[in-house]
């Protein structure tokens, strides 16, 4: 369709498609994307979706990173969600962030907070078009540090206090919901309210190091129901899209209830590999690399993987279930890393549709192997989770 | 505040308007809001704002049938409420860098 | 769904999908036109901070 031109005759009114349908078939450029800029991390969280710890020697250089930003600017990608590993461990972290902001690409970044000292807090507070999300998986150290390591709760709280002192303004607190923190949702909300922060709850996937502990850490069916009802009562808590499989429990959660992977969002990893989303860092979901001849643009628009993700999905095993419209069969990352097929029900299907399949896998009866990523960026010899030293100022 | 059809408007300089096959996406860098403009004619109206003296003139310039104006005014009100469009001061245009 | 042809329509009527582009706007078409601006949030989407 030619670009609209005000000199041409206006087009007749047409019944417009719902936004979610336009998104499902993919856009010419992402709205935003996740950019993990390093695999280096000072923590070693049990569930790390990127198995981070050790810097990969093939990490994009500063110049390459700036080229990526320039390309995103040309595509009018509105913002990048910078993460890692711990993004502030890149020596050029501020240089990259400044370059994005100076080139019409907004920045939202996710951090464990260890490196937000007073100077960094001041610097961040002085920047426009930059948002921060601090990761926290327990309302107290007892719950948090079991997953994120001794001292990590204190480091996150100290970071938030510094941001508050520096008048950064509203930030987000992001928690991965586990069996052990579901009962702390109220306390998390209080912590967020105390800081004037927004709470974001995200779903644990068996991705990265998460594969090892997923069976013990993921919420039970009862806890999923508990979470669902808690979220329905609190539309100001962000999450609808991360838990859309729960929408089969009743009224849909607020949000698009859509998997945006390869359609409106994607991941660029520290070495420039492009994946459908941060939870599927595996060759099966790798679309290409930003250093390929056609750059990120070609990967986004023409890769086989993304083209196929934008095809209409078939319900597969979920065809006879009345809830498919609400849950769309759930999350491909969750299915993939427990050894299910993408056409199988979600492993946490609220109707229990995956139980027999999971039991078969557990008993070794499944035909397939459990996929594992080809690379593990964990720091060798470092316990999981690893303790962190607090910064004094 | 509802739009004034006879006032001159402009797309806020902090807004990035990105054409899509269905219309356009608009992202406001300042307030982080994302809006979906669902018809190319609405996009044409928004793109014409700087070059006309009023919303009314833009609607006429794009050739929007007057029977559709209520729908367009509703849409423009929504854009105004999310700070995507605003009344333009009628000083000579400075070609500022649009976000 | 009935298509109102000559009478002023009182309810939303079906838009003729075969109406050629550039044809005169019919009242039926106008009544199908809905909200032209939708505010979206993708804030909860995976990997969106």
A55-67 pLDDT, tens digit each: 999 999 999 999 9
Query: Does the structure show a pLDDT above 50 at C20?
Result: no
With a cut of 50, list the residues of chain B below it in pLDDT. 97-99
Q: What is the DSSP letter of A374?
A: S
Query: Does the structure show a pLDDT above 90 at A258?
Result: no
Q: Do the bridges between strand A130-135 and strand B9-11 make them parallel or antiparallel, or are there none, so unpaired?
A: unpaired
Residue of B13, B22, B65 best to disrupt the A interface, most CBs of A under 10 A: B22
A311-363 confidence digits (pLDDT tens): 998 888 898 888 988 888 999 999 999 999 999 999 999 999 999 999 999 88
Please give the C-alpha separations between residue B93 and each of A284, B6, B52, in angstroms, as whole numbers.
Answer: 52, 19, 12
What pLDDT score does A4 carry? Answer: 46
A14-69 confidence digits (pLDDT tens): 666 788 888 999 999 999 999 999 999 999 999 999 999 999 999 999 999 999 99
Contact A271, A56 (CB under 8 A): yes
Q: What is the mean pLDDT of residues A210-229?
A: 95
What pLDDT score does C14 carry? Answer: 38
Percent of chain A with pLDDT over 70: 94
Q: What is the mean pLDDT of residues A182-188?
A: 98
Could you write out the DSSP letters of every residue in A291-344? TSTTHHHHHHHH-HHHHHHTSPPP-GGGTT-TTHHHHTT--HHHHHHTT--TTS
Q: What is the mean pLDDT of residues A245-270?
A: 92
Q: What is the mean pLDDT of residues A160-166?
A: 98
Q: Do the bridges between strand A79-83 and strand A106-111 make them parallel or antiparallel, or are there none, so unpaired?
A: parallel
Nearest chain A residue to B49 by CA: give it: A6
What pLDDT score does A366 carry? Answer: 53
- Cα dihedral angle (A192, A196, A202, A207), rounded to 10 degrees? -90
Name the 3-class secondary structure at A260: coil
Instruction: Chain B: give the shortest CA distance to residue A255, in Å.
Output: 13
Length of chain B: 99
The sheet that has C37-40: what strands, in order across it? B15-20, B23-28, B34-37, C37-40
Facing residue for A32 by CB, picked from C19, C23, C48: C48
**Chain A CB contacts of C42 below 8 Å:** 31-32, 241, 255-256, 260, 264-265
Instruction: Chain C: give the shortest CA distance to residue B24, in Å.
Output: 10
How high is the ipTM of this complex? 0.91
Q: What is the mean pLDDT of residues A198-227?
A: 95
Q: In this predicted model, which residue has the larger pLDDT, A92 or C12?
A: A92
Residue of B34, B66, B85 best to disrupt the C interface, most CBs of C under 10 A: B34
Beta strands in B1-99 (DSSP E): 9-11, 15-20, 23-28, 34-37, 85-87
What lies within 8 Å, CB to CB, of B87 at 6+ separation is: B4, B7, B8, B9, B10
Percent of chain C with pLDDT over 70: 33
Percent of chain A with pLDDT over 90: 79
Cβ–Cβ below 8 Å for C36 and B38 = yes
Residue A246 — very low, low, confident or very high, per pLDDT cuts 50/70/90?
Answer: very high
Contact C3, C29 (CB under 8 A): no
Q: Give the predicted TM-score (pTM) of the model.
A: 0.89
Q: Do the bridges between strand B34-37 and strand C37-40 make them parallel or antiparallel, or are there none, so unpaired?
A: antiparallel
Q: Does B13 touch chain A (CB under 8 A)?
A: no
Nearest chain C residue to B83 by CA: give it: C39
Please give the C-alpha separations between residue C5 and each of A376, B34, C10, C20, C29, in angstroms, as whole numbers.
Answer: 67, 39, 12, 17, 12
Query: Does the structure show a pLDDT above 80 at C13?
Result: no
Percent of chain C with pLDDT over 90: 12
Contact B75, C37 (CB under 8 A): yes
What pLDDT score does C12 carry? Answer: 36
């Amino acid at each position: 369709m030619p670009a609209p031109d005000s000199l041409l005759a206006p087009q007749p009114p047409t019944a417009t498609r719902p936004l979610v349908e336009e998104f499902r078939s993919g856009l010419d450029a992402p709205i935003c994307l996740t950019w993990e800029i390093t695999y280096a991390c000072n923590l070693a969280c049990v569930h790390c979706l990127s198995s981070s710890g050790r810097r990969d020697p093939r990490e994009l250089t500063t110049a390459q990173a700036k080229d990526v930003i320039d390309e995103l600017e040309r595509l009018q990608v509105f913002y990048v969600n910078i993460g890692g590993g711990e993004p502030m461990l890149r020596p050029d972290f501020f240089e990259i962030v400044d370059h994005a902001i100076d080139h019409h690409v907004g920045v939202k970044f996710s951090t464990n907070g260890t490196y937000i000292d007073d100077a960094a807090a001041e610097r961040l507070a002085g920047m426009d078009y930059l948002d921060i999300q601090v990761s926290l998986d327990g309302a107290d150290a007892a719950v948090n540090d079991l997953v994120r390591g001794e001292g990590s709760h204190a480091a996150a709280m100290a970071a938030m206090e510094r941001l508050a002192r520096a008048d950064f303004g509203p930030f987000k607190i992001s928690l991965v919901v586990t069996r052990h923190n579901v009962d702390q949702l109220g306390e998390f909300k209080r912590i967020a309210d105390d800081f004037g922060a927004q709470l974001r709850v995200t779903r644990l996937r068996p991705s990265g190091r998460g594969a090892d502990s997923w069976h013990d850490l993921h919420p039970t069916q009862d806890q999923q129901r508990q979470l669902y009802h808690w979220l329905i009562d609190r539309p100001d808590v962000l999450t609808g899209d991360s838990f859309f499989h729960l929408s089969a429990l009743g009224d849909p959660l607020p949000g698009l209830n859509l998997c945006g992977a390869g359609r409106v969002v994607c991941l660029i990893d520290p070495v420039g590999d492009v994946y459908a989303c941060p939870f599927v860092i595996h060759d099966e979901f790798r679309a290409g690399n930003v250093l390929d001849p056609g750059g990120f643009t070609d990967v986004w628009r023409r890769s086989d993987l993304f083209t196929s993700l934008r095809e209409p999905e078939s319900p597969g095993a979920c065809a006879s279930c009345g809830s498919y419209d609400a849950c769309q069969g759930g999350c491909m990352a969750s299915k993939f890393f427990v050894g299910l097929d993408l056409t199988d029900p979600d492993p946490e299907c609220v109707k229990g549709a995956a139980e027999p399949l999971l039991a078969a896998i557990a008993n070794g009866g499944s035909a397939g192997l459990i996929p594992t990523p080809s690379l593990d960026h964990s720091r060798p010899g470092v316990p999981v989770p690893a303790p962190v030293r607090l910064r004094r100022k | 505040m509802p739009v004034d059809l006879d006032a001159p408007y402009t797309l806020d300089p902090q807004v990035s308007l990105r054409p899509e096959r269905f219309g356009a996406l608009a992202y406001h860098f300042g307030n982080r809001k994302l809006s979906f403009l669902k018809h190319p004619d609405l996009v044409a109206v928004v793109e014409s704002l700087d070059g006309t003296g009023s919303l009314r003139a833009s609607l006429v310039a794009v050739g929007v049938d007057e029977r559709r104006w209520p729908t367009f005014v509703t849409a423009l009100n929504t854009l105004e409420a999310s700070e995507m469009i605003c009344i333009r001061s009628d000083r000579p245009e400075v070609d500022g860098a649009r976000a | 769904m009935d298509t109102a042809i000559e009478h002023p329509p009182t309810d939303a009527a079906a838009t003729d999908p075969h109406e050629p582009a550039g044809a005169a706007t019919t009242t039926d078409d106008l009544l199908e036109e809905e909200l032209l601006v939708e505010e979206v949030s993708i804030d909860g989407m995976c990997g969106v901070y």
